[in-house]
Amino acid sequence: MNIADILRDFNKDDFCESITAKKPERKQKYTTKEVHHPTLRFMLKWLAFTFFPREELNTIRQDELHLLYIMIKKRKSSAVKLMLSYWKTVPPMRKCSILFTSWITHLAMSLDSLSKATLTFIPDARRVIGYDFSFVLIK
């Protein structure tokens, strides 16, 4: 389903007023500190940290509000389109190391965000914890 169809009845001011109990003002930026319910506040911070990483996570982005609204209304959606549109707005990294998972690196490379960045691949094999994994206690 298209994200526009899922958000057809979304109204930013009404939604923010319902989770913050704050009257909307013109061009107001909402912060996670204003969200009253601790679970919703945690979910907004988790969305910001996981899907839309940036230095300052307290200001709530429109995409985060959309995803929180979709979760509250229990509608099915995918965050991939919102993530891709966000990563297209991130300026290319010039002189920094990328130490992320291969999926994030693949996504950033496909968006040409790493054209002049230094990539550091971790050559070590990853451990996979399955059903046959047993813990060894060291005394």
Tens-digit pLDDT profile for residues 125-135? 666 555 555 55
Q: What is the pTM of this model?
A: 0.63
Instruction: Give the model confidence (pLDDT) of 6-23 as tens digits.
Output: 899 999 888 988 998 777
In order of 32, 47, 105, 129, the CA distances from 102 in angstroms are: 30, 20, 5, 19
Torsion sign over Cα 23, 29, 30, 33: negative
User: Is residue 78 located within the same domain as residue 31?
Assistant: yes
User: Is residue 80 located within the same domain as residue 100?
Assistant: no
User: Domain for residue 74, yes or no?
Assistant: yes
SS3 label, residue 31: strand
User: Domain for residue 138, yes or no?
Assistant: no
Instruction: Give the model confidence (pLDDT) of 84-122 as tens digits.
Output: 788 777 776 555 544 555 666 667 767 776 666 666 655
- Domain of 99? 91-125
Residue type, 37: H
